[in-house]
Structure 1
């Protein structure tokens, strides 16, 4: 599948500074490249950045097949089509699972790996409320405020609703539609199961950026991180949850920048 993406060219105020490599950002479930503009602009100080829309998200095509494995295949096609060599791959949540699976099944392809707040294990599809909040008919709604009020019946968290609504688009005729393939994602509820049931391990230099209060990381995950990614560093952002690139953006970018600078001195 040909994926949509946004390119942030390498821009550094130091004319003598050379790019350290190409960056690729893989968003999480219900996200898109649009959610990563600030991080992408920050990383463009280090090299060109490709913020990707994964299948069934953003401006990329919809398809009934949705799995970590097939998204890793999409990434392989993306790298070949754009002739990107040894990229630095950043993946969040679902995108982190894709990134880890890709690295484990394509040894030596990545230069570095950055994983945000997800571990290499099976996760439940615990997004019934989010799916419901995007499944009611949108005809007759004349504003985002009206849609948000209806969504609030299913999802009480304003932050999550605002996050989901980044994929809500208004057409020229004034009607609204979801850029997400809501139906397809609803029927891919096993997407996070049995992804890492093999014995491969990686020696790619890996950074795990974790939220200190995240519900996605448990104590037993650290051993699996070490077993599968044998050259890793873990950085935990105190008080952070799953969306630390939003909620703790300043310290997140500082930690990301420090790691990159230390890796390329």
Structure 2
């Protein structure tokens, strides 16, 4: 099955850019950022499996997810692209680069490192599954319920982008069951220690985030020996949302021919 994807720019313009969203996200998250690059690059922005408008499947591992991206590139007759991945999407991008480096022109990973994390997301998944969709009146009611478990209004708004109203019912666009069952695979990073990607690589992280710590930087150096690691001030995990212009500037500098 093919991933749902959005296209920006013309296929004939520049090296293709593929933007990959994070856990509980969708292609819509990248909208404002992608438009800044569409004049000079052909941009492809998919919904990863079990997210957005893409298909649902029990498999959530990075082998399957990276395979979906490779299949999409092949379907679009793209031999080589620059991958830009945030969080879970960053791990998908890293998997593609480490297993099929010949398909990756440049690699950009946003606030993620090639290692296992202890974040279980159990409280978020439990809270989402407890929302009674059959008796839900409106989105505000769902937000008020989530506020009992999640303090940050921005995180609740991000999660509730996945709640949609059909003709007669509320439903989740994300596959909550598969994500819950496979969360240990999503927080992990199942790559052979001997693999390397030697191409141009940029890791952008928020200086207020703890995802790219000392252990993460060591793992980055191990798998990506030519990587540059760049922190952005006043930004947390959602770097491109917290500081969009600084993010665009960093990505633009990296994409310029050297």
TM-score bin, normalised by smaller chain: over 0.9
Looking at structure 1, the residues matched to 14 and 202 of structure 2 have their Cα atoms a distance apart, in angstroms, of 16
Structure 2: unaligned runs, 5 residues or longer: none
Structure 1 position 231 matched with structure 2 position 226: yes
Looking at structure 2, the residues matched to 220 and 150 of structure 1 have their Cα atoms a distance apart, in angstroms, of 36
Looking at structure 2, the residues matched to 231 and 61 of structure 1 have their Cα atoms a distance apart, in angstroms, of 35
Residue of structure 2 in register with 1:182 after alignment: 176
Residue of structure 1 in register with 2:4 after alignment: 4
Q: Is residue 8–residue 43 contact of structure 2 (8 Å, CA) maintained in 1?
A: yes
Looking at structure 1, the residues matched to 122 and 184 of structure 2 have their Cα atoms a distance apart, in angstroms, of 13
Structure 1 position 29 matched with structure 2 position 23: yes
Looking at structure 1, the residues matched to 222 and 142 of structure 2 have their Cα atoms a distance apart, in angstroms, of 45
**C-alpha spacing 1:131/1:31, structure 2 compared with 1 (3 Å):** same
Superposition pairs of residues 1-265 of structure 1, within 5 angstroms? 1-10=1-10, 19-136=13-130, 137-173=132-168, 175-191=169-185, 192-261=187-256, 264=257
Looking at structure 1, the residues matched to 212 and 202 of structure 2 have their Cα atoms a distance apart, in angstroms, of 15
Q: Is residue 120–residue 184 contact of structure 2 (8 Å, CA) maintained in 1?
A: no
181-190 or 134-143, larger mean C-alpha shift: 134-143
Q: CA deviation at 1:183?
A: 1.1
Structure 1: unaligned runs, 5 residues or longer: 12-17
Q: Which runs of 4+ in 1 moved over 2 A?
A: none
Looking at structure 1, the residues matched to 207 and 189 of structure 2 have their Cα atoms a distance apart, in angstroms, of 26
Looking at structure 2, the residues matched to 97 and 46 of structure 1 have their Cα atoms a distance apart, in angstroms, of 26
Q: CA deviation at 1:65?
A: 1.0
**What TM-score does the superposition give when structure 2 sets the normalisation length?**
0.94
Q: Is residue 9–residue 40 contact of structure 2 (8 Å, CA) maintained in 1?
A: no
Looking at structure 1, the residues matched to 119 and 178 of structure 2 have their Cα atoms a distance apart, in angstroms, of 14
The alignment covers a number of residue pairs equal to: 256
Note the alpha carbon deviations across 1:189-232, whole angstroms, 9 max, x for none: 22132413431111111111111121212112222212211221
Note the alpha carbon deviations across 1:7-31, whole angstroms, 9 max, x for none: 11249xxxxxx83211111111000
Q: Is residue 234–residue 242 contact of structure 2 (8 Å, CA) maintained in 1?
A: no
Higher helix share goes to which structure? 2
Q: CA RMSD in A?
A: 1.6
Residue of structure 2 in register with 1:15 after alignment: none
